[in-house]
Amino acid sequence: MASAKIDALKTQILALSKEVAGDEENRTKLLGVAMMAVAVVETPLETIWRLIMSPHAPAALMTCIKMGLVDAIVNAKAPQTAEELAKTTGADRLLIVRLLRPLLCMGIFEETDVRTYASTPISQLLTTPPLSGGYQFMFSAATPSLVKMPNYLASTGFKHVDAAPGPFQHAHKNNPAASEGMFPWLISDPAMLTNFNNFMSGQRMDRKDWYHFFPVDDILFNGSSQEPESPLLLDIAGGEGHDAEAFRKEFSKQPGKVFLLDLPETIDNIKQLDSAVVRVKYNFFEPQPIKGGRAYYFRSIFHDWPDSECIKILKNTASAMTPGYSKLLIFEWILPAKGVPMYPSLLDMNMMALLNGMERTEEQWSALLDAAGFKVDKFWTLHADTEGLIEASLK
């Protein structure tokens, strides 16, 4: 009886997955139900064993990326045998077979015959620069920090991480550039900096920009200067300008200039950016040079820093703002007071391990902004598993 019901459930789930393919809200809902089913059906012992064995598959995948195996399988026009892949990559045939076993179980590759492999949508997507770069960056930077974080925290008497040196410096102590933090470490390694910037662009692949679901006219345009040379939006520490460029294209008829401000090394590393976006080399630990802007915009910046450093950045920004006119816009996670979803929970661990930073609740955001001379006008949120927009102004 149970077996027949399980078979029927499998058929229904497969049908539903096709039905919701173009409906993101219901697709997410179905995924949540499936994950809940795993949590209910999986025994506590199975859960613990899954956690124990969790580092192994990511290590196998990173090895496959480094040896060129992922690209070799994805780029092939037909399934490839282990012998063919050994010739293509120069790697040992048996090593290839062993590394691919856990990845086959995860659906990253397909085993079409004995020791014969083909790509899947997962491995095909993994070869795109944002996700390939992101995986390599996280494995090189975050994984060592997370592995060594328990011992680091034990050495501090389990004090909260709120300043350097932190887990990242502890894990990368043999690299002199890492002593100054993750960003100097990145700047010392141009290839890894490219991976990081690609990763930042990849984080936007499945997320809508804030102006698609919050009232941009009410927040920004109503009451803004109509002078064509006036600063409309400053994307501060905006990386290679993905947000700034998208905003300028979306609102190309809106008067005012859009600026991208970031460190010289980042600005110089930009390969392509719409000329309508003005590039400015700037360190946000220095006074903001562009005065009287309508909006000073930060996306995924403050979670990189402990409160003390955030206050410095915010005060430098406040010094350039016009009271009653300029807005501070922060697009980041706004954690609920309880029931924080898995992704932002893990991201919070990531910020602690890499940057001594953190994700914040409404209460924490309000206190932080108040300490820097701001008041929160509104928290704009959709739901707990996506970022929100914090609209603030000078007190």
- Residues annotated as part of the active site: 303
Q: Do 85 and 117 form a contact (C-beta atoms < 8 A)?
A: yes
Closest CA to 368 of 322, 324, 326, 318: 318
Q: Are strands 327-332 and 295-299 parallel, antiparallel or unpaired?
A: parallel
321 secondary structure, DSSP code: P
What are the helix and strand counts (H, E) for the chain? 19, 12
Helical (H) or strand (E) element with 386: none
Backbone angles phi, psi at 296, to 5 degrees: -105, 110
Q: Are strands 388-394 and 327-332 parallel, antiparallel or unpaired?
A: antiparallel
Q: Is 61 helix (H, G, I), strand (E, B) or coil?
A: helix
Q: How far is CA 130 from CA 17, 106, 125, 202, in A?
A: 26, 21, 9, 4
